[in-house]
Amino acid sequence: MSNTLLCGVGGQGTVLASKLIAFAAMEKGERVRTSETIGMSQRGGCVVSHVRAGEKVDSPMLPKGSADVIIAFEPAEAVRNIAYLKKGGTVIVNKKAVKPVTASLTGSDYDGTEALEYLKANIEHLTVIDGDDICEKCGSSKVLNIALLAAAAKSGAFGMTVDELKNAISKRIPEKFHEINFKAVELA
């Protein structure tokens, strides 16, 4: 069974990413269960998606300490959800911080640096991607989710290969967006 937790902020493409993972697993004949917690995501709130795939999956929710991979669209979200990571698990994180509404209201200077330092000091299998750079090279901020999925696939710790990701993109994303998404896969 593979257990993946995706976490980010509303509008970053977390839910679509979880659907692509689920689709790729179903294409391989695996059973899949997913669950999203989206709360106030439309207002910049936290989004967490659980994806479990395998021969037998009873529950969509990952128990703490069971995630093979955490795909974090933002550093603080990675730290906030780190209790879900299993020992020896992998974290894929975008280095750009998204300042939460509470930080904006209180005048906090959150920039993600402390969260990234914590991850680097505590996670053995960590990949930090520069999502902004990849999005800029692709010409769209909408490919961050694909870049993170590609980095996870390339890590080897994920239940999906790069080819399986490309297949999911081909079948689940409108054709007019294929080229830009395939470019994000290559750049990740």
| Predicted pLDDT of residue 9 | 87
Q: Looking at the DSSP assignment, which residues form a beta bridge with residue 126?
A: 91
Q: What are phi and psi of 110, to 5 degrees?
A: -55, 125
As a whole number of angstroms, the distance between CA 69 and CA 88 comes to 10
Query: In the chain, where are the structural domains located?
Result: 2-187
Residues 6+ apart with CB under 8 A from 82: 70, 91, 119, 122, 123
Contact 85, 70 (CB under 8 A): yes
**Measured distance CA(35)–CA(185) in Å, rounded:** 25
Nearest to 103 by CA among 143, 74, 70: 74
Residue 110's pLDDT is 84
Q: What is the pLDDT of residue 42?
A: 57
- CA 183 to centroid of chain Cα atoms: 18
pLDDT confidence of residue 77: 94
pLDDT means per 10 residues, the chain with 188 residues, are 92 92 96 84 77 92 97 96 98 91 69 96 98 98 97 93 97 97 98
Q: Radius of gyration over alpha carbons of the chain, in Å?
A: 16
Q: Which fold has domain 2-187?
A: Pyruvate-ferredoxin Oxidoreductase; domain 3 (3.40.920)
The pair of three-digit structure tokens given for residue 135, joined into one six-digit string = 């999005």
